Structure 1
Amino acid sequence: MNAPRRLRLSRSRRGSRGFSLLELLVAFAIMAISLGVLYRAMGSSVRNVGDLDLRQQATSVAESALDRVSGVPPAGLALSGGVGGMDWSIQTRPFEAGSSDPAAPKLHEVQVVVSWSERGEPKQLVLQTLRPERGPRQPGG
């Protein structure tokens, strides 16, 4: 009767020795998939931060270009330039306010377009606002 007990003990010892090759392969596969997902998420976050930085730079360029236009001459404006790898342009056109009041200032719609390339793909930022028409300068003024 003692012999069967020994057999049982030896079987339980053999089963608790370690992991099988299949279990190790499954564990490595799960770890590899998890790391791949984690690296992809981190890479995407870093890329998004870079994209956001470029968009902030484009906004600064557009606002700086817009600050050049305090009033629009009656003939309108067409300006362009570039800074830091970004091209900007300003176009104006008369704005119809629908007011028949002759004392109301004439307005022009001002559009600033900033263009740049992001990872080989063209991008644009457009800002629009209204500016008053400036009259001809008075002599001595």
Structure 2
Amino acid sequence: MRAESSRRRGQRGFSLLEMLVAIAILGLALGALYQAASSATRNVRTSERYAYGVELARSLLAENSRVPRSGVNASGETSSGYQWRVESRALGKAGDSELPLQDIEVGVAWFDGDKRREIVLNSVVEAYHDAQR
């Protein structure tokens, strides 16, 4: 009976080597989880900045739904670091009379880390004589 109790006493815990292996595996798993969480956070931030850029471009396009026949050429920057531009030009002529339409391009650019990103929207809008609005 004595041999049996001494054998049980020797097998009651984990060895130092087993503990080191378990801690190493835990460290690798936690490192992978940390990278996955930081990548997800970065993707959410990129998506938010992209959505803001699209909405800014859409609002600039709505703001310029009618433009003067002489065209529009404007640009600026927001306080949050987005650069924008609005450019329009006449579409052409139908016979002898000018079409009252302008091709408009709205661009919004920003930096996401070290990458420059840009949204460009194109549309056709009504042109009015410069004297009216």
User: Fold match, TM over 0.5?
Assistant: yes
In structure 1, distance between residues paired with 2:121 and 2:131: 28
The corresponding residue for 1:121 is 115
Aligned residues: 132
The corresponding residue for 1:42 is 37
The corresponding residue for 1:133 is 127
The corresponding residue for 1:112 is 106
In structure 1, distance between residues paired with 2:46 and 2:33: 20
For the pair shown, which has the larger CA radius of gyration, 1 or 2? 1
Secondary structure class of the residue paired with 1:67:
helix
1:38 counterpart letter in structure 2: L
The corresponding residue for 2:57 is 62
The corresponding residue for 1:92 is 88
The corresponding residue for 1:13 is 8
- Relative to structure 1, is the Cα distance of residues 74 and 104 closer, same or farther in structure 2, using a 3 angstrom cutoff? closer
Secondary structure class of the residue paired with 2:33:
helix
TM-score, length of structure 2 as denominator length: 0.80
Q: CA deviation at 1:105?
A: 5.0
| Structure holding more strand per residue | 2
Identity %: 34
In structure 2, distance between residues paired with 1:65 and 1:125: 12
> Unaligned stretches of 5+ in structure 2?
none
Choose the corresponding residue for 1:81, options 51, 54, 76.
76
Confirm or deny: 8 A CA contact 1:105 1:132 kept in the other structure. Answer: no
Confirm or deny: 8 A CA contact 2:91 2:99 kept in the other structure. Answer: no
> Unaligned stretches of 5+ in structure 1?
none
For the aligned residues, what is the CA RMSD? 2.8
